[in-house]
Structure 1
Amino acid sequence: MTNIDPVFAAVTAPGSPFEIGERDGIQQFTAAPPDLNMLIDAARRHGDKTFIVEGEKRLSFENVFQLRDALVGALEIERGDHVAICMRNRAEWMIAFLAVQRAGGVAVLVNSRGAPEELASAVGDVDAKLVLADSERAALLREGGYAGRIIEADDFPSEGPSLSEQTPANPDDPCVILFTSGTTGRVKGAVLTHKNLITGLLSMQLSGFMVLHNMANQMDVSVETILANMPQQAVLQVYPLFHISGLGSAFLSPLFSGTKIVIMRRWNAAEAMKTIQDEQITQFTAVPTMLWDMVSAAKNKGADLASLRNIGTGGQALPVNLLDAVREICPQAVMGTGYGMTETSGSVAMAVGEDFVRNRASAGRVLNLVD
């Protein structure tokens, strides 16, 4: 590459959190920690900020970490043990994932919408030592023939002993298993290492950081000034957490950045419009069908969507007329799209803002650490 983006060069320079260099024959984030839990623990600094909103339930970052710490002691697992998480989107799903990582386990993210035999088969395929499930999925697992240990979400402890120091995982140790559809037979478990998942998450954050730098250049202010005057960001969580997009862009990335997550149990466009207004949602990512629902609801019932600053889509190509319709109801929002796979820990290509609008049929520019 002969022409290097000066913003990219600046934010990936030596000494920066996104420093990129060659190691073991491949380009990678040289300052990245070896263990995902090290990134997770750093988010505890967000303290009393609201982290999860689920109906009437509101949990701060510190509340969630206290509940995570309490659950760690109840898991009774060893490093490398597989722990299945099988429940709908809810606060306890996120607490379960954080606890498994803190305990050194491998989180197995089961598609909670499966039939009893499918759920039991997925758990059996990975030789899970333990399942963390909501009551509905626990019953389905038993119906499907699973006879192993289950801790139900309603029984998660609220208090526990202090945690001891943990030896970090190696970057190439398994971190998470997600089930992804294949061309034949049943779904397969894709194993992602700590390095895999961290690289995917940092690539996503790097793209956002570059957008922020470009915004600062256009406004002739510093990035620090923008961050200092920016209210807490809020994301509407509609993607399933067992999917790579739900796990990465709608859970872990907001966790790291101090963003509020508002959980919608079921998709309903009218309810989403009200939630966006009431919770001042700034980030919303959905498949095109849901965006059509949003456009229709906004035009028919009216909605205050002024808080939205980022609208993303994926899963299938975005029709050009839908892009125009979304921009009409949310002219202030930056649009974005991308292409990725479970096996690549998320995005392979991404287009944001004017980059997307200039080439509407594109799935984006190939990200910097993708060959």
Structure 2
Amino acid sequence: MSLIQLQEPTTQRPGQSVFFSIGFRPFFAVGSLLGAALMIVWVFIYRGQLQLPLVNMFSWHAHEMIYAYGIAIVAGFLLTAVRNWTGLDTARGPLLMALVLLWFLPRPLAIMLPPSLYLSVLDLAFIPCLALCLAIPMIKSRNWRNLLFIPILLAFFVCNLLYHLAIHQQLALAPSQPLLFALELLLMLITIIGARVMPMFTRNGTQGAVQPTGFAQQALWLLAAGASQLLLANVIDALLPKALLALAFSLLILYSWWGWQGKALWRNPMLWVLHLAYIGIAITYVLKAASYYALVPASLWIHSAGVLCVGLMTVGFMGRVSLGHSGRSLHCSRLMLASYVFMLAAVILRLAAGLHPTMPLWDSAALCWSLALLCFAVEFIPYLVSPRADGKAP
């Protein structure tokens, strides 16, 4: 059995709510809108034009980009993929609705109410519930190979727990530390999923003109390399080994990505957006290595990870999955292309702001990020709330 399969069941369930029939529909729809809104709210907070009961506005921004936006897209993908891997439902109907509410409710409450134990417990509850919805069908179907995603999700939970303990001053730890670890977990997740599906996407998207040389096991050795780099970088104090680990991981990603190349893919926007995001992971780890020696600001690799890797990969991946899983042809519309262009503009502007900090660059980068996600929402929410075009299961 392959690590990741993207197939669809073939029957329509009568009387089933379409929007809450499968995970990618609500999580991609609400996640894209929330991701756009949170960035605009952040601009007003950073400018001092909006006063909210936050312990630390920078930590709040980082936390929400990971645990509000990033985890929503991961949840939508995994809930959809696990159903395909196992042939069993993950969460749908009232259960999926409850899961979405559990993820969403801490977002507005965190900016309206001061930090409290109740808010922290509410925010922490989502990932274990998500992991349970994924683990049960995998265990029932003996889909042992894909259980590797459960410990990764639990690592996200531990990072979130450490963050909440830190903001409540129950732990002598800067809130940014577990958030940086969680950001790298998100990069590692993108790396291993990309290593598995992008060769297939590339071959199919070029009608076989490009024959990638990637193999299924690439996902596994990239997982091992990424986990080793992440763990060792957080226990080693010496700068040189930390920098070498980051560079080594970057080279492994480059080696994997190079085997998927061909001119034909660069003529297809739905492919090049994913390839640019994937090569962005290698760029990010080069910037991380450079930041250890103060050759570039540390914020540069962090925002490269957040905008170039997570932002660009998610707009590309959400569009492709939403088309394929709504029974529509894989055609890049003008709005889809606009979402890619806006996210690329956000990458350039935010990295430029890291090197030459100015308010216009920050504001412009934030605006482009929000416009990219709004373009996705305008194009795809009508598909996400409608039955599949081919009559198959929603």
> Normalising TM by the smaller chain, what interval?
under 0.3
Structure with the higher fraction of residues in strand conformation: 1
Which structure exhibits the higher relative contact order, with contacts defined as CA atoms closer than 8 Å and separated by 6 or more residues? 2
Structure with the higher fraction of residues in helix conformation: 2
TM-score normalized by the length of structure 2: 0.26
